[in-house]
Structure 1
Amino acid sequence: MKLAVVGGGSTYTPELVDGFARLRDELSLTELALVDPDAGRLALVAGMARRMLKRAGHPAEVTATASVAEGVAGARAVLLQLRVGGQAARNVDETLPLECGCVGQETTGAGGLAKALRTVPVVLDIAEQVRRHAPGAWIVDFTNPVGIVTRALLDAGHRAIGLCNVAIGLQRRFAALLGAAPERVSLGHVGLNHLTWERSVRLDGTDVLPALLEEHGEEIAAAVGLDAALLRRLGAVPSYYLRYYYEHDRVVAEQRTGRSRAAEVAEMETRLLETYADPAVDTKPELLGRRGGAYYSEAAVALIASLLGDRGDTQVVNLRNDGALPFLPGEAVVEVPAAITSAGPRALPVEPVEPLHAGLIAHVAAYETLALEAALHGGTERVADALLAHPLVGQASLAGDLARRLVEANRRHLPWAAGA
């Protein structure tokens, strides 16, 4: 079985390779094709991947190419993990909004919109090449903003499914607190990508979330950057990304006094690539754990194995709403538990969502619709409309100013703006 990774030169890739090596019985992988336009990074990462698989005794061949068509040809599944503009663009996403008093984050708020503007057209071009050269292949999108990118793929008729590591990360954290194997723990996960809550944590079918919040509330709250009293009042565990909404002003103040995450990651990437260049290194370096993407490999392997193996098991993914959350349009993309088969994901029934959560979900879902329109059709006014609809911006003069700044900062990545 051939799998392709577009953005294969990412420093994340050895995390994925580590999962393929450890979980080799899950997938009969024979070829891993890494696709990336950066020849230097690609060579280093591909060499590292080959050494890791060799050490594990895994027989898969690792191929490397700058050609999407060549890399995806004949693949059964294609993983997307690209970053248009690299860490330099991310740094702008995280710092420019701060100049206007808004949260600076690469997937949420104004920064997330800038990333969507750059990313959606590129992903759709890649997907068309997958359609031509790997007909029938599943596209698994790990590229942020996952909800918007996945909807763009689905709207264009591609066999696509979005994947995020937030749910699996929380599942593993809860399992550790419970002293239980992860497979015994399931989540009542609901919302949109990077806008989710765990409303139940079931251990062997019994909800133990109230006990977890009572006994480990401080630890769980620290992990998601919020106060334990808030979690107990909500009776739920918000994802880390909810702190940008619930504590907006505090976060902005913190960000203005510290370094951007992009600057930190750029330094990590330099060190990781130096490590990957060492022919003696054949195991995942400890530093990669600080790079982000924890449990990405486990989530990716499980999803691909279920899609190709028709397992019908339950996983948290990004898929069409189609009535799962009745207060959203059917075409919206939501992040909920779903049964995964060869026919694709099917959302499992969701308990009615509390107004406190539903209101914010509906608000951000409306923004995502406008963000996709801006990414597909361009125009500073469409960008301003999306920002006006976002709860982290939501003021007309601010939205207009931010829109002009974002378009100017990203002009070379936006064909529609290049000549404007």
Structure 2
Amino acid sequence: MKLAVVGGGSTYTPELIDGFARLRDTLPIEELVLVDPAADRLELVGGLARRIFAKQGHPGRIVTTSDVDAGVADADAVLLQLRVGGQAARNQDETWPLECGCVGQETTGAGGLAKALRTVPVVLDIAERVRRTNPNAWIIDFTNPVGIVTRALLQAGHKAVGLCNVAIGFQRKFAKLLDVAPSEVHLDHVGLNHLTWETGVRLGGPQGDDILPKLLVEHGDAVAADLRMPRAIVDRLGVVPSYYLRYYYQHDAVVEELRTKPSRAAEVAEMEKQLLEMYGDPTLDEKPELLAKRGGAFYSEAAVDLAASLLGNGGSPYQVVNTVNNGTLPFLPDDAVVEVQAAVDGSGAKPLSVPKLDPLYAGLIANVTGYEDLALQAAVHGGRERVFKALLAHPLIGQYAYAEQLTDSLIAHNREHLAWA
């Protein structure tokens, strides 16, 4: 089995490598190719990756290359985890929207649109290269904004499934609170990428007893603290919103918070410098503790599980993924991409049925889906007017004057990445 990781020079890759090494029985990789244009980072990350495999007794071969075509050739699956523009572009995404009082975040609001505009054309080019070299390969997208990127891939006819670590993070945290094995926890997880709610927590599988009400009564303080939201919000909803819902439910408070501290991108950039220095140590043969602060908890476990299922090598029968709607949420277009529990096997991901949603959630999902449709049009076709319409449609913006100002700022800060600008 051959896997390719595009964006393999990321400082987060050793987390993925550690998961591949630990879970080699689930996903028996014979060759792993790390692909990245940053040759200096790639060499450091590749060296540590080989040492991790060696220490854990993994027999697989790790190859590094900056040649996308060579890297993805003959791969059974290609994992995308790239960041166009690096942390410098992310820092801009998190700062210039604050100038007009809108949240600055890399996947949500104006910053999220900027990331989509930079990312979608690059991902589609990579996917075409994969299709030319190996049309049967699965593409697993972990590149944000996952929902928009996955929708772009699917609409272009690629074999793609999107992956986010929010659901597996909840699964692991709930399992710890309930003192059960993570495999026992099944989530009624519904929404769009970074716009989801846990409407049920079941033990034993999709038909198990829903113990969410009990979980909130007994552990509501811990759940709310992890979300960085007041417990009153969780109690009144009766469900567990993802962390990203705080940008909607507490928008103005979050904007003030972001204005008073360094951006997350600045923090990560400093962390990356330290990590790369560590990776250069030839005696280091395991992921350093500092990596846990980098973000993306449990990503490796989710990636292994999904790849194993898609490649017919086992894996969990039910997983939370980003895939085509096809009537799962009847108030959305069939070609929308939703993030829900799905049955996953070699033929792809088939969403499980979802009970009728409360308008409180359905309305916001429909609104953001409309924005994502406009965002994808802007990313694929370009043009100032398309950018403006996407910003005007976003529920975190929605005002003409803000959309005008943010359009100009977005283009000014991303011109080098926009072929049409």
TM-score normalised by structure 2 residue count: 0.98
Gaps of 5+ in 2: none
The yes-or-no answer on 1:332 pairing with 2:345 is no
CA-to-partner distance for each residue in 1:280-326, whole Å, 9 max, x for gaps? 00001101100001000000000000001165700000000000000
Query: Whole-Å Cα distance in 1 between the matches of residues 273 and 395 of structure 2?
Result: 35
Give the corresponding residue for 2:380. 376
What does residue range 384-395 of structure 1 map to in structure 2 within 5 Å? 384-395=388-399
What does residue range 296-335 of structure 1 map to in structure 2 within 5 Å? 296-309=299-312, 311=314, 313-335=317-339
The yes-or-no answer on 1:350 pairing with 2:354 is yes
Distance 1:75 1:165, change over 3 A: same
Task: Supply the AA of the counterpart residue of 2:329.
Answer: L
**Percent of aligned pairs sharing the same letter:** 68
Does the CA-based 8 Å contact 2:189-2:200 persist in structure 1?
Answer: yes
Does the CA-based 8 Å contact 2:26-2:313 persist in structure 1?
Answer: no
Does the CA-based 8 Å contact 1:150-1:161 persist in structure 2?
Answer: yes
Q: Which range is displaced more, 142-151 or 307-316?
A: 307-316
Give the corresponding residue for 2:29. 29
The yes-or-no answer on 1:269 pairing with 2:269 is no
Task: Supply the AA of the counterpart residue of 1:263.
Answer: A
- Tell me, what secondary structure is at the counterpart of 1:132? helix
C-alpha displacement at 1:392, in angstroms?
Answer: 0.4
Give the corresponding residue for 2:257. 254
- Tell me, what secondary structure is at the counterpart of 1:287? helix
Task: Supply the AA of the counterpart residue of 2:21.
Answer: A
- Tell me, what secondary structure is at the counterpart of 1:207? coil
Give the corresponding residue for 1:237. 240
The yes-or-no answer on 1:285 pairing with 2:256 is no
Does the CA-based 8 Å contact 1:307-1:341 persist in structure 2?
Answer: yes
Query: Whole-Å Cα distance in 2 between the matches of residues 277 and 375 of structure 1?
Result: 37
Query: Whole-Å Cα distance in 2 between the matches of residues 339 and 19 of structure 1?
Result: 22
C-alpha displacement at 1:351, in angstroms?
Answer: 1.0
CA RMSD of aligned residues (A): 0.7
Query: Whole-Å Cα distance in 2 between the matches of residues 46 and 132 of structure 1?
Result: 26
Query: Whole-Å Cα distance in 2 between the matches of residues 257 and 41 of structure 1?
Result: 32
Task: Supply the AA of the counterpart residue of 1:407.
Answer: I
What does residue range 10-409 of structure 1 map to in structure 2 within 5 Å? 10-204=10-204, 205-309=208-312, 311=314, 313-409=317-413
- Tell me, what secondary structure is at the counterpart of 2:390? helix
Does the CA-based 8 Å contact 1:310-1:340 persist in structure 2?
Answer: no
Query: Whole-Å Cα distance in 1 between the matches of residues 147 and 297 of structure 2?
Result: 19
Task: Supply the AA of the counterpart residue of 1:381.
Answer: E
CA-to-partner distance for each residue in 1:350-390, whole Å, 9 max, x for gaps? 11111000000000000000000000111111101000000
Query: Whole-Å Cα distance in 1 between the matches of residues 134 and 224 of structure 2?
Result: 44
C-alpha displacement at 1:401, in angstroms?
Answer: 1.0
Query: Whole-Å Cα distance in 2 between the matches of residues 135 and 150 of structure 1?
Result: 17
